[in-house]
Amino acid sequence: MVDVLTKKQRSYNMSMIKGKNTKPELIIRKLLSSNGIRGYRINYKLPGKPDIVFTKYKLAIFIDGCFWHKCPKCFIEPDKNKEFWKNKINGNVKRDKKVNRVLKKDGWKVLRFREHLLRKDPDQVYRRITKELIIRGFNDN
């Protein structure tokens, strides 16, 4: 990739990518496994590369980084290379929508969570996932 970022821009960008400490997909995996929920796959090959996939229940879960997926609450437009970022981020948003359509058409249920929600209220994310699993036949007995 062409090095279009200034140093300041890059550090802003890296902080957005890395988050504060834990990777969001690790937060959710910990929550699931500590509650005895297993049988999900990571790195399962589906359009859009969902973070967590329950193949048995056709449930695909995405954790969307607030910067990369233009979270209406958190997204701040970088003040440099505006055009580059605008194209990049809008491209991501467009792709997200397309991925949702494709998966839905194939019978998948798609859940998307914003990274900030997962960090702020992981229980809410957990409840929504388990609710969806139960709807789709999950039984933890």
Shortest Å distance, C-beta 2 to Zn ion:
28
41 burial (CB, 10 Å; 0-12 / 13-18 / 19+) is middle
When the beta carbons of 6 and 124 are compared against Zn ion, the nearer one is 124
Distances (CA, A) of 108 to 22, 85, 103: 28, 30, 5
Instruction: List CB contacts of 18: < 8 A, sequence separation 6 or more.
Output: none
53 burial (CB, 10 Å; 0-12 / 13-18 / 19+) is buried
Shortest Å distance, C-beta 32 to Zn ion:
21
Shortest Å distance, C-beta 79 to Zn ion:
19
Q: In the complex, which residues of this chain contact Zn ion (CB under 5 A)?
A: 66, 71, 73-74, 114, 116
When the beta carbons of 83 and 123 are compared against Zn ion, the nearer one is 123
When the beta carbons of 46 and 74 are compared against Zn ion, the nearer one is 74
Half-sphere exposure of residue 135: CA atoms within 13 angstroms, side-chain side: 9
Whether the CB-CB separation of 89 and 70 falls below 8 Å is answered with yes
When the beta carbons of 58 and 116 are compared against Zn ion, the nearer one is 116
Shortest Å distance, C-beta 66 to Zn ion:
3
